[in-house]
């Protein structure tokens, strides 16, 4: 099996828009070769990822906060997330969870995996084949606005 990349940098959560209307939230990931990988996510996940990046804390736990708290109470922790496939425009990912020195991988939507990995301060990686298939040119980023302008 192909090795994942070194950890990606989450550049931020942006909004693809047409006119003044939000069309789709997108998370931009950057690898060490400065390739930009766009991952389109739902609005709820976009807000959760943005909150994790900005360090904001909700007055009540979100679903992602609850999941992290549950893992903590069980003595488990998230050790990483890898985006390992792209099929028909849909990304696939695996979340690595460690308990008692045993690491298990579970299938995850990349949006949930990113929200959880960011909260756990765990690395986010991508398989090289997926980065090659999905990288976009930086000039294509000019039409994106930060998601905070829609919140």
Q: Where are the domains of the chain?
A: 9-150
Q: What are 73's two structure tokens? A: 């109470």
Mean pLDDT of the 51-74 span: 92
Residue 139 or residue 25, greater confidence: 25
User: What is the percent of the chain where pLDDT is above 90?
Assistant: 68
pLDDT tens, position by position, 90-111: 999 999 999 999 999 999 999 9
Rounded to an integer, what distance in angstroms lies between the CA atom of residue 81 and that of residue 117? 6
Residue-wise pLDDT tens digits, 28-57? 999 888 889 999 999 899 999 999 999 888
Q: CA 124, CA 11: separation in Å to the nearest integer? A: 12
More confident residue, 7 or 1: 7
User: Mean pLDDT score of the chain, rounded to an integer?
Assistant: 89
How sure is the predictor about 137, in pLDDT bands with cuts at 50, 70 and 90? confident
What length is written for the chain?
151
pLDDT (average), residues 74-102: 96
Class of domain 9-150: alpha beta
CA distance linking residue 43 with residue 40, whole number of Å: 10
Alpha-carbon dihedral sign for residues 54, 139, 142, 115: negative
């Amino acid at each position: 099996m192909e090795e994942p990349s070194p950890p990606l940098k989450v550049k931020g959560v942006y909004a693809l828009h047409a006119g003044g209307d939000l069309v789709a939230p997108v998370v931009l990931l950057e690898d060490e070769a400065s390739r930009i990988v766009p991952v389109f996510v739902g609005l709820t996940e976009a807000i959760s990822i943005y909150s994790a990046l900005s360090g904001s804390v909700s007055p009540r736990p979100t679903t992602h906060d609850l999941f992290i708290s549950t893992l903590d109470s069980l003595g488990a922790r998230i050790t990483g997330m890898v985006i390992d496939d792209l099929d028909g425009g849909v990304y696939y990912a695996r979340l690595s969870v460690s308990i008692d020195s045993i690491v298990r991988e579970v299938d995850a939507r990349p949006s949930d995996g990113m929200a959880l990995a960011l909260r756990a301060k765990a690395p986010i990686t991508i398989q090289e084949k997926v980065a090659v298939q999905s990288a976009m040119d930086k000039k294509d980023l000019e039409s994106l606005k930060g998601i905070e302008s829609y919140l």
